[in-house]
Amino acid sequence: MTTVAVRRQAQRRRSPLVGYLLRRIGTSLLLLVGVTIVTFALTNLVPGDPVSAALGEGASQNPETRAAFIKAQGLDQPLFVQYFIYMGNLLRGDLGTSLVTGRPVTSDLATAVPATIEIAIGAIILSLAVSVVLGTLAAYRRGLVTDQVIRIVTLIGLSVPTFWLALVSFYVFFLELRIAPGSGRISPSITPPPRITGLYTVDYLLNGDGVGFADALAHLALPVMVLSLVTIGLLTRFIRTSVLEVLGSDYVRAARAKGLPAMRVILDYVLRGASLPILTVVGVAFGSLLSGTVLVESVFAWPGLGTYAYNSAANLDLPGIMGVGLVVGFIYLLINFVVDLLYGVLDPRVRIA
């Protein structure tokens, strides 16, 4: 076989995954444009006067000051013109200036997003590790006491309000027992690390600061625990259902009939077969953690995306609101893209179809 033929054959083998990847990228780009349209439209439909919110009641009553602000912000243009101005600025990486902080929205988000990512990653890792064990155990012990106990515990975890759990955890572990640090990302006596990734634990490690890393990790403990308890309940119940479906498959029965060790059957056959639906739920849960931490961040004074979104909405900060909406939409699109990509890698039927 010639070299050209070998290359063509290799390209044909790679083409299904490459084509699948290109289709997902194109779809994601179209959806991202749709996110900008929806975010812009909903933001401009919010009731209230952004001029009064930005300038205050006193300054907004001055006609000259009001007119100058409206012209500077482009609020005197039709909505479709404002949208194209917004898209032009967006393509240049300019999300505008926050009416609350007075800083560029990109700078505010560059600080807030890593803070939320840090607790979301910790929560999803802990949740997945615990849920895989509990869900698999419940499936193998279906109908027995172990299964019933795990189902009751997960139901309680899903039923408890997150904000209540955050308040109770803060009161018990910080105010009463004094075994957890207070609010914020680090203690007041600790100097923030030089910015590399924005994730304090990672930045402290990269700078070789063990004391700072330990303090940042301690401050992560309570928010991560609160977010994990709810997510564990969701993932455990879903993993149990997925594992139960796989346990009845012919290839699992064949593996057991061969006398393979139980642990190998679980890891190589059961969990691998149940990985695709589990992956979908993990992606959705991770997206929810990144975009739905407002109450938890408020309780623990965590300067993340949820806190920034609340402050922007409360003060009618339109650039800030649109920036948050765009980031949340991009996060969900990115997570869905990664999940779809992993689908194509794990299951050849997906990329061929």
**What residues form DSSP beta bridges with 97?**
104
List pLDDT tens digits, range 220-234. 999 999 999 889 988
Q: What DSSP string runs through 10-59?
A: HHHHHHHHHHHHHHHHHHHHHHHHHHHHHHHHHHHTSSS-HHHHHHHHHH
* Confidence class for position 38, pLDDT limits 50, 70, 90: confident
Asked whether the beta carbons of 28 and 337 are under 8 A apart, the reply is yes
Highest mean pLDDT among 22-26, 44-48, 234-238, 260-264: 234-238
Q: What pLDDT is stored for residue 216 in this prediction?
A: 92
- Whether residue 10 is predicted with pLDDT greater than 90 in this model: the reply is no
**What residues form DSSP beta bridges with 104?**
97
* Confidence class for position 133, pLDDT limits 50, 70, 90: very high
Half-sphere exposure of 328 (CA within 13 A, CB side): 20
Q: Which helix (H) or strand (E) holds 110?
A: helix 105-140
Question: Which residue pairs from 10-17 have beta carbons closer than 8 angstroms and sit at least 24 positions apart in sequence?
Answer: 16/348, 16/351, 16/352, 17/344, 17/345, 17/351
What are the φ/ψ torsions at residue 104 (nearest 5 degrees)?
-60, 140
In whole angstroms, give the CA distance from residue 25 to residue 22. 5
Q: All domains of the chain, ordered by start, with CATH?
A: 14-91 (no CATH), 105-314 (1.10.3720.10)
In whole angstroms, give the CA distance from residue 136 to residue 270. 9
Question: What is this structure's pTM?
Answer: 0.81
Which residues touch 195 (CB under 8 Å, ≥6 apart)? Answer: 203
Asked whether the beta carbons of 255 and 199 are under 8 A apart, the reply is no
- Averaged pLDDT, 115-122: 92
- Whether residue 13 is predicted with pLDDT greater than 60 in this model: the reply is no
User: Average pLDDT over the chain, rounded to whole?
Assistant: 83
